A and B are shown apart, each in its own frame.
Chain A
Amino acid sequence: MPYVLPVLFALVIVALLPLVAGYIVLVERKVMADMQVRLGPMRVGPHGLLQPIADAVKLLLKEDIIPESADRLVFWGAPLISVTTAMVALAALPIGPFFQIAELNIGLLFILGVSSLGIFGIVLGGWASNSHYSLLGALRSAAQLVSYETSAGMAIVGALLLAGTLSTRGIVQAQAQTEVWFIFAAPVGFFIYLVASIAETNRAPFDMPEAESELVAGYMTEYSGFRWALYFLAEYTNMIVVASIATTLFLGGWLRPFASTSYLDFLDWLPPLLMAGVAGYCFWRAPKQPVAVQKMFMAAVGLLCIVLALVLIMPMAAPRDSFLASSKAGIHGAFWFLFKVGAYIYVFMWLRFTFPRYRFDQLMRLGWQFLVPLSIVNVMGIGVGLALHRQLNWPAAPALILGIVLTLVAGAYLLATGEKHEHPRVGEEEEEETPVNA
């Protein structure tokens, strides 16, 4: 029965993903509120904890509107394509050493290929809506994906050179063996991937396809209710996917920080302590909730956290060689993996609420004139480093650092030349052009 476990995992993921996506939205709104000196959702459940559920119910119950002049079949099917491809991509990602639906030897290639198909959902949806906003949004999306997929792919190639395998599990293991996460071996690659992945998931400041102040909602303009929710789900799933790829490739996957340094093993206590801390906060806040239901709910959340903390602590407390102890890698691995994915998504949010939006041509220029060349140089830089290390037997560190320096120099050059193109000024440089004279 080798398929039982994968199928089980798959079911869990499909069942949980909408919930997770919903809660990422909530977290995003809370983070946004925090950055904008306000509270965010507070009404539904304590601290708005039930907001995602309320939203989901609302979306499901909404009238299903299909514009009269839309291509009904395509309009109907497009969100499905988006959401399906996004979910399929999750199949090959290892959430910890044990939780993985399918271990493929071409894992990464599979993920990239499948997740790129999601663009069909967007383009078709935009086209089928028969609206200019949608069409423009869809076209932008297609152009953007093509541009940034290139540099993202190149950035990944850099890391793959280091890992020497396409298997997602293999990549993490390679990082475990070398004891260096690839973010340190190829920082430029990570940076490129970060930027490209934001663009690929259509997040601000690259959210051209749905730029609300320009295109209303871009390709989603004509969608509402459940179908709109599917697009939303796809978008957040995509975020999880790119964050997972980045975690796997650059951030050491499920590995604990300093995984192989035994005197730092006390770090294993961090996860349960964290959960216990959250639980403590919940219990502390629970009596202060205004309504009885909210008190109970808050306490329930605290209990959940306690349970998680216990789950995390069990393998460590259990006697050696017992089954529980051997499950430690799986449980703690999952924790660290999700933690890193969360941190990566947090960076997404942070950027979104800080930056204005690029204009479309600027986005393209950044993509093609800066990121693509830089990612190519990055691959070559890593190649040079590896060649020095493997062929000429240089020690690894200086060889890789040499590669990184090469890449950075190229990046600085690109930045400097790009600057010139960006503002073709008529006159001379002037910085104090604006104000004041009495």
Chain B
Amino acid sequence: MAERYNFGAGAGGVNVETTVLGADEIILNMGPQHPSTHGVLRVKLRLDGEKVVGSECVIGYLHRGVEKIAEHRSYQQFAPYVDRMDYVAAVSNGLGYCETVEKLLGAEAPPRARVIRTILTELQRIASHLFWLGTHALDIGALTPLFYCLREREEILKIFEKYCGARLTTHAFRIGGLQYEAYDELEKDTERFCKDFDRRVDEYESLLTENRIWVGRTKGIGVLTADAAIAMGVTGPVLRASGVQWDIRKSMPYAAYDQYEFSIPTGKNGDTYDRYLVRLEEMRQSRKICLQAIENIPAGPILGKVGKVLKPPPGEVYHSIEAPKGELGYYIVSDGTTQPYRVRIRPPSLINLEALDQMIRGHLVADVVAVIGTLDIVLGEVDR
């Protein structure tokens, strides 16, 4: 099969093959430069007319060897690198990494740090989902929601900027807690954002949820059954939309999630529409968590007892968090030196993307775009 993907130079080089039925099968090279592959994803589509009969993802265009880099940096030095993986949810990446190293050290962040971490991570989840919603809608042809979504995301980025000075690749946390004390109006800013936000989500919904075209474009598209989803290792909203109510925040709580009330939305049909609804609801739940968290931020130190030089005892640890896109896991092996012996990052985007082929078979080219969008991949994370 693999040899059949044989391209002439340049995107869309004509290469027609004959199928069993005698019809001409077109091979369409989508990406790596394409408006809606969300970066440098390249999908080779085999088309029968406009129907997809097979596909293959070609990834690695953004491969930076993050895991190799980690082996040559000290634990603290590596922390900023993880922000560059899922660059629309850098805070979550940082949280996962810091907690993993803490676990490796046998240390823990103080309560105050955990609560602030939770707030920022949930804000980040909202921001990530907003960005997803905007671009997903854009892929399906709705131009306008993107700007509404970015308007709200901007508010969140402003909070990040006030907190740590950076908007995108924040490097917000430190191993053992936080680097920065929360600024004075963090609660107020968060509250102001949250107060408005519910109404804003309703606004997006009014544009899309019951729109005939939107429903027509998303319902029944890219269906992933619960079994298939688990078999493909899919996690996060994609898995939940298939009806599996599993969220690491609940099942193996980290940071301060065990202190807050929230629910895990699930879908039923595992199609693109359900994934859309699940993510919208997740934003609402994240807002709820934020509101609960700012009510009571414990006082105390923000940095736990970790040394200046981190030398975790030999051993290994796997720790994962519920990143906006799914289970973000870090598997770190220590050999007792200041540099990790091996860092493995389990990127949710990569593994969710693997299900793409299965989801688009039999659909049309237009649906490929919708499904890529609904998987919410970030190529920085896929390729690392």
A–B direct contact (CB < 8 Å) = yes
Q: Hey, which bits of chain A sit against chain B, CB under 8 A?
A: 32, 35-38, 69, 130-134, 136, 204-205, 207, 211-216, 221, 352-362, 422-423, 425, 430, 433-438
Residues in B whose Cβ lies below 8 Å from that of A362:
213, 216-217
Q: Is B263 an interface residue (CB 8 A)?
A: yes
Known: A132-B27, A213-B140, A216-B35. 5 other contacts (CB 8 A): A136-B50, A211-B366, A215-B365, A355-B213, A437-B263
16 contacts between A and B (CB under 8 A): A37-B151, A130-B14, A132-B27, A132-B29, A133-B28, A207-B141, A213-B36, A360-B364, A362-B213, A423-B216, A423-B219, A423-B220, A434-B265, A434-B274, A435-B266, A435-B281
* A-B pairs with lowest CB-CB distance, top 3: A357-B141, A36-B147, A434-B277
Residues in B whose Cβ lies below 8 Å from that of A212:
35-36
Q: Is B269 an interface residue (CB 8 A)?
A: yes
Residues in B whose Cβ lies below 8 Å from that of A361:
364
Q: Which residue of chain B has its CB nearest to the CB of A217? A: B35
* A354 to B145 CA separation, bound complex (whole angstroms): 9
Q: Which listed residue, B50, B139, B220, touches A213 by the CB 8 Å rule? A: B139
B126-143 interface code vs A (CB 8 A; 1 in, 0 out): 000000000001111111
A359/B263 in contact, CB under 8 A: no
Min CB–CB distance B169 → chain A (angstroms): 25
* A214 to B43 CA separation, bound complex (whole angstroms): 12
Residues in A whose Cβ lies below 8 Å from that of B216:
358-359, 362, 422-423
The prevalent SS among residues of A at the interface is loop
B265/A356 in contact, CB under 8 A: no
* A19 to B366 CA separation, bound complex (whole angstroms): 34
Min CB–CB distance A410 → chain B (angstroms): 20
* A355 to B211 CA separation, bound complex (whole angstroms): 8
B:20-55 near A, CB below 8 Å = 26-29, 34-36, 50
A214/B265 in contact, CB under 8 A: no
B277/A435 in contact, CB under 8 A: yes
Q: Which residue of chain B has its CB nearest to the CB of A132? A: B12
Min CB–CB distance B161 → chain A (angstroms): 20
* A352 to B365 CA separation, bound complex (whole angstroms): 21
Q: Which listed residue, A213, A216, A433, touches B141 by the CB 8 Å rule? A: A213
Q: Which residue of chain A has its CB nearest to the CB of B143? A: A353
A436/B263 in contact, CB under 8 A: yes
* A132 to B43 CA separation, bound complex (whole angstroms): 14
* A270 to B34 CA separation, bound complex (whole angstroms): 49
Q: Which listed residue, B139, B365, B369, touches A136 by the CB 8 Å rule? A: B365
Interface size class of B (residues with CB under 8 A): 35 or more
A356/B140 in contact, CB under 8 A: yes
Q: By CB atoms of chain B within 10 A, which of A37, A361, A422, A433 has the most?
A: A433
Q: Which residue of chain A has its CB nearest to the CB of B269? A: A433
A214/B369 in contact, CB under 8 A: yes
Q: Which residue of chain A has its CB nearest to the CB of B262? A: A438
* A37 to B148 CA separation, bound complex (whole angstroms): 7
B281/A216 in contact, CB under 8 A: no
B:255-297 near A, CB below 8 Å = 263-269, 274, 277-278, 281
Q: Is B367 an interface residue (CB 8 A)?
A: yes
Residues in A whose Cβ lies below 8 Å from that of B369:
213-214
B217/A357 in contact, CB under 8 A: yes
Residues in A whose Cβ lies below 8 Å from that of B265:
434-436
With A433-B268, A435-B278, A436-B281 as contacts: A356 and B142 at CB distance below 8 Å:
yes
Q: Which residue of chain A has its CB nearest to the CB of B216? A: A362
Min CB–CB distance B135 → chain A (angstroms): 9
Q: Which residue of chain A has its CB nearest to the CB of B51? A: A361
Q: Which listed residue, B11, B138, B211, B264, touches A131 by the CB 8 Å rule? A: B11
Residues in B whose Cβ lies below 8 Å from that of A435:
265-266, 277-278, 281
Residues in A whose Cβ lies below 8 Å from that of B140:
213, 356-357
Q: Which listed residue, B36, B137, B274, touches A356 by the CB 8 Å rule? A: B137
A434/B278 in contact, CB under 8 A: yes
With A205-B213, A213-B35 as contacts: A359 and B12 at CB distance below 8 Å:
no
Q: Which residue of chain A has its CB nearest to the CB of B265? A: A435
With A212-B35, A436-B263 as contacts: A352 and B143 at CB distance below 8 Å:
yes
Q: Is B214 an interface residue (CB 8 A)?
A: yes
Residues in A whose Cβ lies below 8 Å from that of B211:
355-356
Q: By CB atoms of chain B within 10 A, which of A207, A355, A423 has the most?
A: A355
Residues in A whose Cβ lies below 8 Å from that of B267:
433-434
* A360 to B141 CA separation, bound complex (whole angstroms): 13
Q: Is B208 an interface residue (CB 8 A)?
A: yes
Residues in B whose Cβ lies below 8 Å from that of A422:
216
* A394 to B50 CA separation, bound complex (whole angstroms): 52
